[in-house]
Amino acid sequence: MIRLLINLIKRVRSVFYTFIAQKTCGEYIHLKANGYTRLSEKTICGANVNFNGCIIYGKGYVNIRKNFHSGNGVKMLTETHNYNGKSIPYDNTYLIKDIIIEDNVWLGMDVTILAGVKIGEGVIVQAGSVVVADLPKYSIVGGHPAKVFSERSIIH
């Protein structure tokens, strides 16, 4: 009986989080969220996109292609302060850069993706990593900043 109640609560939460994600997303084909997910009107999600918790900050575009999966606590930042402006440490303007995530990408828990990054097809990003630069296809990366430490089998 308790298991049934727990499963019911999980389903209700998933429906609620999915509703929020879909309402805040600009365009999507199939999108599901099992944890709090707030996207942006400039987010485009392909088929089979699954979040366990993600927040997108900034005014840039985020293009997430098909078969995406994330752990809880993922953050994507599409906007940064202009540190080369007229003031120190930064001026009152922002640099807006897009994020592109290709097919079959898996982001672990608490991953942060900074503005202007492109994540290649089939990439796995280890939990807690900070992605500051483009990642090549089929790589397995981790750390702060995220660095390639292995590759996936392209045949697989």
DSSP symbols for 29-60: SSEEESS-EE--TTEEE-SSEEESSEEEESSS
Q: Where are the alpha helices (DSSP H) in the chain?
A: 2-24
Mean pLDDT of the chain: 94
- Across 64-73, average pLDDT: 97
In terms of Cβ atoms closer than 10 Å to its own Cβ (0-12, 13-18, 19+), residue 149 is: exposed
Is the predicted pLDDT of residue 76 greater than 80, yes or no? yes
- What's residue 56's pLDDT? 97
Domains, in order of start, for the chain: 2-149 (2.160.10.10)
For 55, the token pair is 């927040």
For 26, the token pair is 């600009």
- Across 83-107, average pLDDT: 90
**β-strand partners of 75:** 55, 112
User: pLDDT over 90 for what percent of the chain?
Assistant: 81
**β-strand partners of 42:** none
- Across 88-102, average pLDDT: 91
- What's residue 81's pLDDT? 86
* Radius of gyration in angstroms for the set of CA atoms belonging to the chain, rounded to a whole number: 17
Is the predicted pLDDT of residue 155 greater than 80, yes or no? no
Report d(CA 127, CA 17) in Å as an integer.
22
Q: What is the pLDDT of residues 105-122, one digit of tens each?
A: 999 999 999 999 999 999
Is the predicted pLDDT of residue 87 greater than 90, yes or no? no
- Across 20-44, average pLDDT: 96
- What's residue 156's pLDDT? 63
Nearest Cα residue to 59 out of 39, 75, 73: 39
Report d(CA 125, CA 4) in Å as an integer.
34
Report d(CA 124, CA 119) in Å as an integer.
9
User: pLDDT over 70 for what percent of the chain?
Assistant: 99
